[in-house]
Structure 1
Amino acid sequence: MPPTILLADIGGTTTRIARAGLDGAAFDVRVEPNDGYGSLEEMFGAYLGSLSGERPRAGVLAIAGPVDGDDVRMTNRAWSFRRPALASALGLDALAVLNDFAALAHGVRSLGRSDLIQVGVGHAKEGAPILVCGPGTGLGTATLIPHPEKKSYEVLPGEGGHVRLGAVTADEARIVAHLVRELGPVSVEHVLSGPGLVRLHRILSGETATSHAIIQSALGGHARELESCHVFLRLLGRITGDYCLLVRALGGVFIAGGVGAAMAPLFAASPFRKAFEEHPPYHEHLASITVQVVVHPTPGLVGAAAVGRRLLAAL
């Protein structure tokens, strides 16, 4: 059997694991609930122990948290590890670890039409920065920076979910004030995430439900849940517009993350696009930018595989 690489997209709630060869096509894909394991070593050990044939020689892990060296700690889960020790424990000759949205950014340009849903009008300017952001257990961000002379892009990871959340309308001010009393300083992902949607819906309706239940009820046309999702998407649109202005993302915007994908059918009729564009005096600038929601089931693995092909070829 040709050499393979271990791929994983490790979120705060679930982990997607797979193998791939030099062609980058993922196989043996599994989705594991993180609560079922005490550590990453335990999770990967169970996965590798169930495989037949030669074990992977290298690995690429996309993880929900900052990656600044060999000591890695997740943001929304109490898991940490040292990269060399984990590579040794899994029997890997090489192991690359990168932020989950950095991995997404490596893969978005290879996604097909069926993997994306466009929101509003706009176009992508070739050779311009591309923004990748979106809500899941937290809110992730990354930017693709073009290198025209190399005809390639460099991925710049970000931590945009942890910038402070402000308000521009009376109802947003009420939401932020409520959250300040509850949490203290309020960051963007305190609202724009799965747990954030739960908080937002509780503030707006007085009801408590899971993010999945809220989205499913909104998709079914239930008024209170639909209102909560529309407020969520309005805030997401405004914040995404803010991020676009910071990097002049004329190459387009990809909204990723599990919550973003689940809400994909709600974007068109929501205030998202209006809030995205409503940044005077740059309305026309933002109106020209294409925004697409990623609905591919494992986009993080696509990006991890792109990195993995180069890693495997170098062994």
Structure 2
Amino acid sequence: MTSTVLLADIGGTTTRIARAGADGVPFDIRLEANDSYGSLEELLHAYLASLSGEPPRCAALAIAGPIDGDDVRLTNRDWRFSTRKLAEDLSFARLSVLNDFEAFAHGLPLLTREDLLEVGTGRAVPGAPMLLCGPGTGLGTALIIPREDGHEVLPSEAGHMRLGAVTTDEARIVAHLVRDLGPVSVEHVLSGPGLVRLHRILSGESLSSHAIIKAALDGQRQEKESCHVFLRLLGRVLGDLALAFDAKGGVFVGGGVGRAMAHLFAESPLRDAFEEHPPYRDRLALVPIHVVMHATPGLVGIGEIGRRLLVDA
């Protein structure tokens, strides 16, 4: 049996990489800036070369993009690779490649209460579908459907749905975005780059998403307003998706931007926008929302996939 498996959660901006043993628990965790590497192959080679002892002969990769066959492309980074060639080049006997939020979703049942921050109140219906959605470099989504023998995960590209406007300020935002980008998708706003666009439209200032969120947490009026508009739109989209999939098992907000904004959620319009879907306000009021606060939830999920690879090796 292979002793360890290589794990990687590969986002548009950052890759979280680790190893795991038969328990699937990540160790030797590193966070790598993707801009430091010319390709995914280069990043993985560098990590493997730094290890001592026998290298992993299996790998499980979570990719920020759809997985439709051997040719894999990241949605928000100009990286692509062949799964077959990657396995050959890195001497992997087994390689599993999943969408990043699909992998994240596999780890959701393994998280504890300490890993979650509740937004408002609600009570999950046991056995009902659960929605995972989170802003980062893009907007990831996945659906978790409990089964008698575990759960099934359905990946989604809902971040590329079209963004609509309900209020006059939202109409102005969408009009600006249409002028700059053409057809506007949800993740054109509900993402790190989207928050930058939104704040520039509302304030005229160009700040990084990190600077906007930090200023909002420090109580700066304009940045806080931008974050509240962002969270209002996020709440509405989460409500749309919760109704689409009848996600009475709960809604979970992940992603680096979601986690960074977590302590702005309570006083923001997010929960009200989530519920404001007549005639189903009362129905959505019962659905719990939690922000995932775990630092590397994608590695938890891909670790579970890696564990299965080792068991079957």
Q: Do they fold alike, i.e. is TM over 0.5?
A: yes
* Secondary structure at 2:259 match in 1: helix
Q: Which residue of 2 aligns with 1:97?
A: 97
* Secondary structure at 1:104 match in 2: helix
TM-score, normalised to structure 1's length?
0.98
Q: Which residue of 2 aligns with 1:124?
A: 124
TM-score, normalised to structure 2's length?
0.99
State the Cα deviation string for residues 22-77 of structure 1 (Å, max 9, x = none): 11111000000000000111101010000011111211100100001111011000
List structure 1 runs of 4+ shifted beyond 3 angstroms: none
Conserved 8 A contact 2:62-2:99: yes
Q: Which residue of 1 aligns with 2:111?
A: 111
* Structure 1 position 145 matched with structure 2 position 145: yes
* Secondary structure at 2:19 match in 1: strand
* Structure 1 position 275 matched with structure 2 position 270: no
Report deviation, 1:2: 6.6
1:171 to 169, 189, 195: 169
Q: Which residue of 2 aligns with 1:57?
A: 57
Alignment-mate amino acid for residue 62 of structure 2 = A
* Secondary structure at 1:213 match in 2: helix
In 1, Cα distance between equivalents of 2:245 and 2:118: 21
Matched residue count: 313
Task: Show structure 2 runs of 5+ residues with no match.
Answer: none
State the Cα deviation string for residues 169-225 of structure 1 (Å, max 9, x = none): 111111101111111100000000000000000000010100000000001000000
* Structure 1 position 156 matched with structure 2 position 162: no
Conserved 8 A contact 2:2-2:58: no
State the Cα deviation string for residues 94-121 of structure 1 (Å, max 9, x = none): 0000000001110011111121101000
Report deviation, 1:152: 1.9
State the Cα deviation string for residues 116-136 of structure 1 (Å, max 9, x = none): 101000011111101000100
Q: Which residue of 1 aligns with 2:255?
A: 257
Report deviation, 1:151: 3.5
Q: Which residue of 2 aligns with 1:23?
A: 23
* Secondary structure at 1:161 match in 2: helix
In 1, Cα distance between equivalents of 2:36 and 2:93: 27
1:195 to 193, 208, 212: 193
Report deviation, 1:295: 1.0
Report deviation, 1:241: 0.4
Structure 1 vs Structure 2 CA RMSD: 1.0
In 2, Cα distance between equivalents of 1:109 and 1:293: 14
Conserved 8 A contact 2:2-2:57: no
Q: Which residue of 2 aligns with 1:311?
A: 309
Alignment-mate amino acid for residue 214 of structure 1 = I
State the Cα deviation string for residues 219-266 of structure 1 (Å, max 9, x = none): 100000000000000000000000000100011111000000000010
Q: Which residue of 2 aligns with 1:68?
A: 68
In 2, Cα distance between equivalents of 1:68 and 1:5: 23
In 1, Cα distance between equivalents of 2:279 and 2:229: 23
In 1, Cα distance between equivalents of 2:180 and 2:50: 45
In 2, Cα distance between equivalents of 1:247 and 1:42: 39
Conserved 8 A contact 2:274-2:284: yes
Alignment-mate amino acid for residue 30 of structure 1 = R
* Secondary structure at 1:92 match in 2: coil
Alignment-mate amino acid for residue 296 of structure 1 = H
In 1, Cα distance between equivalents of 2:293 and 2:34: 22
Report deviation, 1:14: 0.4
Report deviation, 1:277: 0.5
In 1, Cα distance between equivalents of 2:84 and 2:77: 21
Task: Show structure 1 runs of 5+ residues with no match.
Answer: none
Identity of counterpart residues, as a percentage?
67
In 2, Cα distance between equivalents of 1:118 and 1:34: 32
* Secondary structure at 2:68 match in 1: coil
In 2, Cα distance between equivalents of 1:87 and 1:101: 22
In 1, Cα distance between equivalents of 2:244 and 2:256: 24
